Amino acid sequence: MNPLTDPDGFFSEKMEQDTNLKSPALIVLVVGVIAAVNAYIIAGMVMEAIAPTLPPEAAGFAKIGSIFGAVAALFITFIMWAIYTGIFFVISAILGGEGDFKRLLAFVGYGFIPTIFGSIITTGLTYYGMSGIEFSMENPELMQQSIMADPMMQLVSIIGIIFLLWTANICIFAVKHARGLNTKNSLITVGIPIGIYILYQAVMLILMM
């Protein structure tokens, strides 16, 4: 069974097995590594751009900044895995769901598979897009606006939203089986937080257009 095309059958089959976190953790690790590469590229480009304005003794810290960004991105991916699972666990509990947190954690981990493909695409586009953006060094807010207003970065956001929908789709079936909910309630469990996040992303995107 393939979690990408038949998540219902895949998780149904997994329910008959013992909970195993190794594969989901590996998936999340791959996502985290791609996020780290992405963060390293962005931080590196920003640091390169601001390097002329920094004193020579601060140049060494610029490299450390890139590495710190990469490590932070890796850890944040694992934290997001736990947070997603925690939110789904709480909402599903309100809707009468029952089941082990560890199993839900493992199932939600499989939901990160589409993010691997999405991250690879968006990392490539980010690298291309960032290379053409002129940064404002005086004002970090202005710098963020410049990045977000760039058409390539807006494409990155849209692709990110589409792959997030795929992740949400897998998580619906993950919650359904791990928490013993019907399809409607598992749709609500996943739809509320993901829906709010996508709405926020969409509003930010429209504001920057």
Partner 1 sequence: MRYALILIVLILASFAPVASAEGAVCIVESYEVNPSVFMTNDLGTIRFTIKNTAPAGTGMSAEIERVDLFGNGIEILTNGLMHVGEIGPQDTIDFTFKIQAKRPEGTYYPKLLVEFGNGKTIRYTVPIEVENTAVEVTASSIPDDMRIGETSEIKLTIANRRANTIHGIKIHLASSGATSAPSSHFISSIEPNGVEEISFNITPSTDTEAFLFETSYKNGENYHEGDLKVQVDLKEGVLNRIILTGIEFDSNSRGHAIAGEINNAGEEDLEGVMIAFDETSEVIPVLPYKSYFIGSIEKDDFASFELNFKINEDETANATEIIIPLLIEYRDLDGDRYQTVEEVVFDLGQRQNPEDKSIPSWLFAVVIVLVLAVVGMAIGYSWKR
Smallest distance, partner 1 to C-beta of residue 75, A: 27
Residue 2, φ and ψ in degrees, nearest 5:
-110, 120
Q: Which is nearer to partner 1, 39 or 172 (CB)?
A: 172
Closer residue to partner 1 (CB): 19 or 169: 169
Question: C-beta of 72: minimal distance to partner 1 in Å?
Answer: 25
Calculate ∠ Cα 34-39-44, nearest 5°. 130
Tokens of 113: 């598979």
Residue 119: CB minimum distance to partner 1, A = 13
Direct distance between the N- and C-terminal alpha carbons of the chain, in angstroms, rounded to an integer: 41
Least CB distance from residue 152 to partner 1, whole Å? Answer: 7
* Dihedral angle computed from the Cα positions of residues 137, 77, 111 and 205, in that order, rounded to the nearest 10 degrees: -20
Q: Which residues lie near partner 1 (CB under 8 A)?
A: 4-9, 114, 121, 132-136, 138, 142-143, 145-146, 149-152, 155, 158-159, 162-163, 165-166, 169-170, 173
DSSP H stretches of helix in the chain = 7-14, 22-50, 59-94, 101-110, 113-130, 140-149, 151-178, 183-208
| Main-chain phi, psi angles of 55, to 5 degrees | -65, 155
Q: Judged by CB, which is closer to partner 1: 62, or 155? A: 155
State which residue, 75 or 128, has the beta carbon closest to partner 1. Answer: 128
- Three-class secondary structure of residue 158 per DSSP: helix
Q: How far is the CB of 67 from partner 1 (least distance, A)?
A: 26
Provide the 10 A C-beta neighbour count for residue 108. 26
Closest CB to partner 1 among residues 79, 165? 165
